[in-house]
């Protein structure tokens, strides 16, 4: 039976410096409609990246729950490094009332909260420990799951995750195309103990940018149905804005509806982790 775990990396919740780059692009293309949308959403009360209510509505309608990985980014701003702008200026404050409230709401209502490790945390135990503590403090209990921002990882990342008490990681995945990184289809245990890697199979932009993605999708599903694999999906919170990410939301819904029609079983990553771990214990 096909198993599906939905997830959302929460990289950004508001537009900041991006307004200016989108606006400049629209003006260059003489797309004045879009330029005026960008201006309105900058000066207006619009919050184009606050898509939590929409995600909750979609998932409630379809009868599924997901895991939200929250980012506690603290990288310092560097004026002469453009990549850094997105990382430092795009960040949100995890202690903001509105953010804490949505995290608590999700946690209390059957969604899972995980840690989205900050850009430099994949090899920095102290930093990641602080982030984990901050998020646990907000929701009031232990967090067992993590995915690293940009899927950053090196040979120490899993060790750090395990040491900090995470039970599973879901960073193992492709940033181009989609499917199985190094042909690993099923969840696996890197240290042969109870720490589990649950591979990420489909991510929004790499999926949308793959030619004939529905064809490729079918063969990925076939592989998963034959094995004990889990279809782990990551649709970033911000891509549910249809104006800036046309067809992303539709594709997300289409995947879920397709899986429902295949009688797939949906659960959060932590539920699958618990199931796999209990099964292993019973076999010993």
Residue 72 interacts with Zn ion (CB under 5 A): yes or no = no
Instruction: Report d(CA 103, CA 52) in Å as an integer.
Output: 10
Closest CB to Zn ion among 200 and 276? 200
Stated as kind and residue range, the H or E segment containing 261 is helix 248-261
- The residue of the chain with the least Cβ separation from Zn ion equals 149
CA dihedral 180, 201, 205, 99 (to 10 degrees): -150
- DSSP character at residue 45: S
Applying CB under 5 A, among 6, 7, 8, 9 the residue interacting with Zn ion is 9
Considering only 91, 132, 149, 162, the residue that binds Zn ion (CB under 5 A) is 149
Query: Could you tell me which stretch among 2-10, 31-39, 98-106, 249-257 binds Zn ion (CB under 5 A)?
Result: 2-10
Q: Near Zn ion by CB under 5 A, which window of 19-27, 124-132, 145-153, 215-223?
A: 145-153
Number of residues that bind Zn ion (CB under 5 A): 3
Q: Is 11 in the site for Zn ion (CB under 5 A)?
A: yes
For residue 117, which of 82, 56, 164, 55 has the smallest C-alpha distance?
Answer: 164
Find the helix or strand (DSSP H, E) in which 159 lies: helix 157-163
Stretch that binds Zn ion, among 136-144, 146-154, 221-229, 251-259 (CB under 5 A): 146-154
Taking CA atoms, 199 is separated from 50, 64, 155, 179, in Å, by 27, 20, 16, 9
Cβ-based nearer residue to Zn ion, 9 or 204: 9
Please choose, out of 89-97, 141-149, 219-227, 242-250, the segment that lies near Zn ion by the rule CB under 5 A: 141-149
**Residue ranges in contact with Zn ion by CB under 5 A:** 9, 11, 149
């Amino acid at each position: 039976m096909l198993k599906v775990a939905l997830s959302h990396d929460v990289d950004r919740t508001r537009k900041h410096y991006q307004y200016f780059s989108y606006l400049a692009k629209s003006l260059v293309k003489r797309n004045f409609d879009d330029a005026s949308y960008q201006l309105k959403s900058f000066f207006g009360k619009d919050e184009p990246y606050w898509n939590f209510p929409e995600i909750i509505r979609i998932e409630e309608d379809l009868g599924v729950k997901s895991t939200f990985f929250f980012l506690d980014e603290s990288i310092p701003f560097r004026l002469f490094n453009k990549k850094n702008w997105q990382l430092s200026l795009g960040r949100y404050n995890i202690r903001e009332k509105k953010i804490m409230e949505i995290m608590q709401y999700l946690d209390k209502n059957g969604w899972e909260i995980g840690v989205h490790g900050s850009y430099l945390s994949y090899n920095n135990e102290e930093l990641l420990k602080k982030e984990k503590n901050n998020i646990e403090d907000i929701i009031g209990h232990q967090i067992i799951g993590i995915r690293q921002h940009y899927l950053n990882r090196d040979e120490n990342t899993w060790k750090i995750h395990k040491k900090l008490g995470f039970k599973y990681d879901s960073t193992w995945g492709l940033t181009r195309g989609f499917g199985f990184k190094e042909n690993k289809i099923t969840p696996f245990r890197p240290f042969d103990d109870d720490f589990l890697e649950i591979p990420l199979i489909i991510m929004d932009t790499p999926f949308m940018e793959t030619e004939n993605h529905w064809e490729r999708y079918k063969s990925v599903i076939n592989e998963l149905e034959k094995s004990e694999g889990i279809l782990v999906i990551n649709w970033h919170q911000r891509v549910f804005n249809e104006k800036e990410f046309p067809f992303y939301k539709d594709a997300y819904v289409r995947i879920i509806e397709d899986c429902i029609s295949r009688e797939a079983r949906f659960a959060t990553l932590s539920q699958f982790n618990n199931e796999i771990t209990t099964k292993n214990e019973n076999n010993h």
